[in-house]
Amino acid sequence: MLISSKLNLVHSITASAQVTQEFANLRDFETGAHLERMAHYARLIACELQQSHNLSDESIEYLYLFAPLHDIGKIGIPDRILFKSGRLDADERRSMETHAQKGMEILQRVVGEFGLEGPPDSAMMKNLVSSHHEKLDGSGYPLGLRGEAIPLEARIIAVADVLDALTSHRRYKEAWTMDLANAELDRLVAAGQCC
């Protein structure tokens, strides 16, 4: 019964992640493609860190499954801001930065509805949604966490997210080469802006 219960729980969480990705695809195909790509990047990064950070195969797979949830709060961001082709002004930026909190509100509701509060996997889900915009130097949002206070899964998602953003064509920029993206990630790490 314990195994059956665990499988049902995994199925519920997986279904939630898939529904989220489908919502993203309906709203904007590129967002859905971004979620899929960055989930693969997150898995690759986690595999590289597996031994040094004692990551189990199970936690790596959960990270891969939950990665598309990281931007779930963007459902609550107005299209005029979310799809703006130019730079965001200060008010638009503040609105965009609410997506982590909105994501947590959505996730807490889903987790509560499905009764998923107990397992450690739900903590991973919450961490990557709430903390993927935190920065090592404390200048991130929403909580201004620093260094090791940022959960590992959120740091992995942050790197995967930045890597995909840099190497993908966007309305406002061309895709960077992998070499340029890696150099930029190195620069961000040195500046305390990325994990």
* Catalytic center residues: 74
d(CA 36, CA 109): 23
Closest by CA position to 150, among listed 161, 136, 170: 136
Alpha carbon distances (Å) from 15 to 9, 119, 152, 171, 173: 10, 16, 24, 30, 33
Task: Indicate the angle between helix axes 2-27 and 29-49, nearest 10 degrees.
Answer: 140
Cis amide leading into 120 (omega within 30): no
Q: Provide the sign of the torsion angle of the four alpha carbons 165, 170, 172, 174, taken in this order.
A: positive
